[in-house]
Amino acid sequence: MSSQPENVPSAATESPSLVHAVEPGPELLDAAAATLRMLAEPTRLHLLWQLSDGPKTVSELTAAAGVPRTVASQHLAKLRHSGLVDTRKEGRNVIYSLRDGHLVRLIRETINHADHQLTGEPTHD
C-alpha cells in the first residue's frame, strides 16, 4: 500500500507546474536579473518575440527583425550562450527555439505589458 495520500500526485506522475514555490535568494535573484538583462535589448527582445511563436531559422528571424544577418547572428549567439535559446541543425539551416515555456510566457507578458502602457489599454489580472 502506498504511503502517498490519495489525492496527491507522486513526483513521477506530476506535470510540470507553471509557478514554482521558491524563495528568491541571492543566487536565484542574480540568475533572474541575468535573464532580464538579456531581454533588455530591443533587437534580442524582438528575436525572442518571434521565437515565442515557434522555432525559426536565422533567415526567418533576420527578415522578421529587419536587421542584417550578422547583427541577428550576434544576438542569437548571446541568447544561446545565456541559455535562453536552443539550436538544432536541419540540413544547412540552424533552427532556433526558446528553451522553455516560462520564457515564452515572460516574453509575451513583457510585450503585452508594454502594449498596455503605450495604448492605455486597461490593466487586468
Residue in the block written with cell 524563495: 23
Element (H, E) at 56: strand 56-57
Average pLDDT, integer, range 7-32:
74
Per-residue CA distances from 98 to 8, 53, 62, 85, 87 (Å): 31, 9, 16, 4, 9
Element (H, E) at 61: helix 58-65
Is position 95 within any domain?
yes
Is position 32 within any domain?
no
Residue in the block written with cell 515555456: 101
Q: Give the whole-angstrom CA distance, residue 99 versus residue 78.
A: 14
CATH number of the domain bearing residue 67: 1.10.10.10
**Chain segment 24-45, per-residue pLDDT in tens:** 999 999 999 999 999 999 999 9
**Chain segment 72-105, per-residue pLDDT in tens:** 999 999 999 999 999 999 999 999 999 999 999 9
Amino acid making up residue 14: E
Is position 13 within any domain?
no
**Chain segment 108-124, per-residue pLDDT in tens:** 999 999 999 999 998 88
Cα 111 to chain centroid, rounded: 12
Is position 69 within any domain?
yes
pLDDT at 10 over 50: no
Is position 64 within any domain?
yes
